[in-house]
Chain A
């Protein structure tokens, strides 16, 4: 992949890119983050960004690390894995992905409800989570009808359709999650699977694949660092410790005062003695 990338970057193109976006070689302030998930079963693909091969032989059920990208609109094309360019043997696209400053996105190659290849572009919620809570995002990107998500036996998300998402902010903990056809509780189309909704983390679960082809599966992505600290640490209840401190310093004070009195007394006595002389 590396060599093909380098080869693709003909001198002229590299120069133009470098001039237009000199800061994009390394992560820079304001960079958007783009992750890519492959949710089309049975096809290995190549992903082209702005005409350059960015992901070679990208396998189904695989997620990229976040790409740090200067805010801009990027053109993404998905081709067969033996394609020679972004326009050869196109599976999907090209589509334009507008990435805003500091935005956090996931682009998903998936099947639509009718089972055709499609691209979904999600903005990930990276707002702070409340102390003690985690965020669970569920995305339906499978060739399947509307679904409900059960936590244990109880539906927590109802009527979720391809290519939509639902977001829940929950007390941190493990959710035994199942995906069922909307309005039912069994049989589970997927799961039950233990999903760890960790504190301060957006845990994003994707249902992808095809119900008809029996290729339904779950994929998971996590975005951490969203935690909020507790509001405070109230670590005293009675004031006894402060009272004990005060008492101690009072005794020390009294002691000092006593010494002073004694000294004054001694001085007075001395003077009286002197006066008698």
Chain B
């Protein structure tokens, strides 16, 4: 199931690569001397801004890592670790279900746009059933507080909790880096397939900054 999914996801990407011009050298058009400066096409040229291109000029937007999560309604109060990917290209999570993981390549706390993604095991070989087993019971309007590594705290309000079959789980949407700023909490749910060792669903909770 899983390999089929990856294959389906990968094929359009490969197609995209090819279309974008691999091999790159061959696809790079050669500039040619034109006989005169007169337009070889009559397309208009808009105004343009410029900037310093020196090596120190690239401003890396400071991402504030979330370090603690609390949902009073569900009696949840968890530490958050910054996580990347596992060996299969899936989001890596802390071993313990009692700890949550933040996808460190995506938006952080108080981001301008996109989804801050925090996930945790619903149950783990290390410490059993975790707090995120209660995520599915969250009520719309419940408050979620996220503390950042800079000492700030941002409150979010739950807008939606849904269960999505993993085969259909919209990863591009979950990990969206554009659009309105929001918090996305994810864990597993539904039936457990003991033959694969995986749950069949993802529980996806969406919250927006309080006061928006």
- Residues on A lying within 8 angstroms of B by beta carbon are 1-2, 5, 16-18, 20-21, 24-26, 36-37, 48-52, 54-55, 58-59, 61-65, 67-70, 72-75, 77, 85-87, 93-98, 100, 107, 119-123, 125-128, 130-132, 164-165, 167, 172, 193, 195-196, 198-200, 203, 205-206, 217-222, 225, 227-244
Q: Give chain B residues whose Cβ lies under 8 Å from the Cβ of A95.
A: 31-34
From the candidates A120, A128, A131, A222, name the one contacting B17 in the complex (CB within 8 A).
A128
18 A-B pairs, CB-CB below 8 angstroms?
Answer: A24-B43, A51-B39, A61-B52, A87-B36, A93-B33, A95-B32, A128-B13, A195-B55, A218-B54, A219-B54, A230-B85, A230-B175, A232-B90, A233-B174, A236-B122, A237-B124, A238-B124, A239-B194
List the A residue with the shortest CB-CB distance to B20: A127
B21 within 8 A of A: yes
Instruction: Name the residue of chain B whose CB is nearest to the CB of A76.
Output: B31
Are B57 and A54 interface neighbours, CB within 8 A? no
Is B105 a contact partner of A17 (Cβ separation < 8 A)?
no
B146 vs chain A, min Cβ distance (A): 18
Chain A residues with CB under 8 Å of B210's CB are none
Per-residue CB contact flags for chain B residues 175-199 toward chain A (1 = under 8 Å, else 0) read: 1010000000011111110100111
User: Are the C-beta atoms of B55 and A231 separated by less than 8 Å?
Assistant: no
Please indicate the chain A residues that have their CB under 8 angstroms from the CB of B91 in the complex.
Answer: 230, 232-233
Q: Which of B125-174 contact A (CB under 8 A)?
A: 125, 128-130, 132-133, 166, 169, 171-172, 174
Sort A-B residue pairs by CB-CB distance and give the 5 closest, nearest first.
Answer: A239-B192, A236-B188, A229-B175, A50-B39, A72-B41
Q: Are B188 and A50 in contact (CB under 8 A)?
A: no
Q: C-beta contact mask, B78-95 vs A, less than 8 Å → 1, else 0? A: 000000111011110100
Known contacts A65-B50, A132-B85, A235-B188; A54 and B45 CB within 8 A of each other: yes
Residues of A within 8 A of B102 (CB): none
B211 at interface by CB-CB < 8 Å = no
Whether, in the assembled complex, B48 has its beta carbon less than 8 Å from a beta carbon of chain A, the answer is yes
| Beyond known contacts A97-B31, A244-B133: 6 more, CB 8 A cutoff | A48-B37, A61-B54, A96-B40, A132-B105, A235-B187, A237-B125
Any A CB within 8 A of the CB of B28 = yes
Q: Across the interface, which residues of B come within 8 angstroms of A2, CB to CB? A: 47
Q: Contact between A21 and B42 (Cβ–Cβ < 8 Å)?
A: yes
Given contacts A24-B44, A127-B16, A220-B57, whether A229 and B39 have CB atoms under 8 Å apart is no
Set B58, B119, B192: member contacting A233, Cβ < 8 A? B119
Contact A131 B129 (CB under 8 A): no
Q: Say whether, besides A75-B34, A75-B40, A242 and B192 are in contact (CB < 8 Å).
A: yes
Which of B40, B53, B177, B202 touches A73 (beta carbons < 8 Å)?
Answer: B40
> Smallest distance from the beta carbon of B199 to chain A beta carbons, Å?
4
Q: Is the CB of B53 within 8 A of A123?
A: no
What's the least CB distance linking A247 to chain B, in Å? 12
Docked complex Cα distance between A98 and B29 (Å): 7
Residues in A whose Cβ lies below 8 Å from that of B171:
229-233
Check if A237 sits within 8 Å of B123, measured CB to CB.
Answer: yes
Given the known interface contacts A64-B50, A230-B175, the answer about A49 and B20 at a Cβ–Cβ threshold of 8 Å is: no
